Chains A and B, each alone.
Chain A
Amino acid sequence: MNIYAARSFGEWFDDLQARFINDFITDNRWKYLWNGLGVTLKITAGAVIIGIILGFLVAAIRATHDKTGKLRFLNVLANIYLTVIRGTPVVVQLLITYFVILAPLGVNEIVVAVCAFGINSGAYVAEIVRAGIMSIDNGQFEAGRSLGFNYAQTMWYIILPQAFKNILPALCNEFIVLLKETSVSGYVALQDLTKGGDIIRGRTFDAFLPLIAVAIIYLVIVVILTKLVSILERRLRSSDH
């Protein structure tokens, strides 16, 4: 017989309230979630910055190679980077970055996670940016060159502004995915949002409320970000000429 069905709603509600207090209020356990959220946002923000820099760099190398045939060596490196990063799970990358590469040097865990997720995200950003560059009509490129702009100037003044507008939604989407991917940070002893919820579960032996709370927090952040992206997208389209 189901225990929930056996009791009246009032009893069930009192029970829930007690568990809520035990999970979040006692010993200020809500702080695990609050601090965890801070860690999650810090890792995401850092990784986004590294991802953008790395992504644009790799995309520039790949697109230059595709268009001009130059930078062959760098292009090979970029291809290896993309293959390895996109071909292995992010958790494994995180573990390798921490235990194999950076932990022996005594580097702070947050820095480790920022590097690992940033390098991971860079690979996806690179392909998004490259697709954006390649989507611009070659005539734009020729027009720039025919005026006397060199390759880099043509990229900077003419191609990238147009490409950026096209890829912005895809980029934002990538960063929303990145935010959720940081939930595996607990593997390297980081107390991010997910780990925070899990710690509460370990203390109170109640899985339901802490984990649901974690899920809701992620969901709220993602919904807000998605909303912002769609507003941005609409604004870009309205200024589209």
Chain B
Amino acid sequence: MTTKKNGKKKPAVAEKKNEVTLEKKEAVEKETVTPPSERPEKLKPDIEIEAEGGTMNESLIMVRNLEKHYGELHALDGVSLNIEKGEVVVIIGPSGSGKSTFLRSLNLLEMPTSGEIIFEGVNMLDKHVDINVHRQKMGMVFQHFNLFPHMTIMKNITIAPIKLLKMSKAEAEQKATELLKRVGLADRADSYPSQLSGGQKQRIAIVRALCMQPDVMLFDEPTSALDPEMVGEVLDVMKSLAKEGMTMAVVTHEMGFAKEVADRVVFMADGKILETGTPEEIFSDPKTDKAKQFLASVLS
């Protein structure tokens, strides 16, 4: 898909669309009955992959020609990107480049003006798709944590699995406790968010998203609102998550994290993807002037 993204032909798109709707129907049916714990790759039939004659259907998320206008402002200008299963994609770029808008479009917190977002074979922008079902499989972590202040940490983490995945309270709490142990906050289960530090809140926010057993995690500048000494603890959690093979899309200004963890770095400016490549390619040999400028200013 990456090779195709610039010179895309109209017929190819139309063809793909039909196929996606077929696949979607099947996927939707399955999702309503299959609990997420037993929800492996069944949804991507092998025949489809062959029919496309490529590896396209193996991508977890396929974004094509995404456009977003805010009145006059052209926030996203024909963004196309594939995110493969297990891949860590780090999106960098100057402020106002549309990277947050892009990330927030992936689970439709921002409604794109046009384009396609195909997640696990389902076109998220199709009007008949129940977006809430698909959002359950896309965990999101926000810059400002957005923990629920009126609930204890345990309730924050377990409310969604209990209400949406119909997990029993005991099961959800057991899972939450496991996850809390992993991030080193098992002793804070009965605290309220306001009693935690920023770094702790963000780790809880990650746990809250993980407890829904998502297939992909979206991070929207997860360390930008933190005091410098707390950035490390959050990045450590993200690193261990990446090591375990979680698919991640991360918007961040932490270039160190990008260098160390990213499989692919995406550079955005003015609502467009200007460059994609491995961290080495982007950081040591940027092609465009904008990328050179940006990297010079953040790496100095």
Contact, CB under 8 Å: A147 / B133: no
Q: How far is it, in angstroms, between the C-alpha of A147 and the C-alpha of B144 when the chains are bound?
A: 16
Q: Is B140 an interface residue (CB 8 A)?
A: yes
Q: Is B179 an interface residue (CB 8 A)?
A: no
User: Count of chain A residues with Cβ under 8 Å from any Cβ of B?
Assistant: 18
Q: Which residues of B contact A146 (CB under 8 A)?
A: 107, 109, 135, 138-140, 142, 209
Q: Is B291 an interface residue (CB 8 A)?
A: no
Contact, CB under 8 Å: A162 / B150: yes
Q: Which residues of B contact A161 (CB under 8 A)?
A: 150
Give the total number of A-B pairs whose CB atoms are below 8 A apart.
61
Q: How far is it, in angstroms, between the C-alpha of A47 and the C-alpha of B192 when the chains are bound?
A: 37
**Proximity bits, B123-149, A CB within 8 Å = 1, else 0:** 000000000110110111010101111
8 Å CB interface, A206-221 against B: none
A-B contact pairs, 25 of them (CB 8 A): A137-B144, A139-B146, A142-B140, A142-B146, A143-B140, A143-B142, A143-B146, A145-B109, A146-B107, A146-B135, A146-B142, A147-B136, A147-B164, A147-B212, A148-B160, A148-B164, A149-B160, A153-B163, A157-B159, A158-B148, A162-B149, A165-B150, A241-B192, A241-B194, A241-B195
Q: Which residues of B contact A148 (CB under 8 A)?
A: 132-133, 135-136, 160, 164, 212
Q: Is A108 an interface residue (CB 8 A)?
A: no
Q: Is A135 an interface residue (CB 8 A)?
A: no
Q: Is A79 an interface residue (CB 8 A)?
A: no
Main secondary structure of the interface of A (DSSP, over half): helix
Q: Is A204 an interface residue (CB 8 A)?
A: no
Q: How far is it, in angstroms, between the C-alpha of A72 and the C-alpha of B194 when the chains are bound?
A: 37
Size class of the contact patch on chain B = 20 to 34
- Kindly provide the distance from the CB of B130 to the nearest chain A CB, expressed in whole angstroms: 9
Q: Is B68 an interface residue (CB 8 A)?
A: no
Q: Is A140 an interface residue (CB 8 A)?
A: yes
Q: Which residues of B contact A140 (CB under 8 A)?
A: 146, 148
Most chain B CB within 10 A, of A143, A146, A165, is at: A146
Q: Which residues of B contact A145 (CB under 8 A)?
A: 109, 132, 135
Q: Footprint of B on A, CB under 8 Å?
A: 137, 139-140, 142-143, 145-150, 153, 157-158, 161-162, 165, 241
Q: Is B24 an interface residue (CB 8 A)?
A: no
Q: Which residues of A contact B109 (CB under 8 A)?
A: 142, 145-146
Extra contacts besides A142-B146, A143-B142 (7): CB < 8 Å: A140-B146, A143-B146, A143-B147, A146-B138, A146-B140, A146-B142, A146-B209
Contacts A147-B212, A241-B193 given; indicate if A142 touches B149 (C-beta within 8 A): no
Q: Which residues of B contact A143 (CB under 8 A)?
A: 140, 142, 146-148
Q: How far is it, in angstroms, between the C-alpha of A148 and the C-alpha of B140 when the chains are bound?
A: 10
Contact, CB under 8 Å: A149 / B148: no
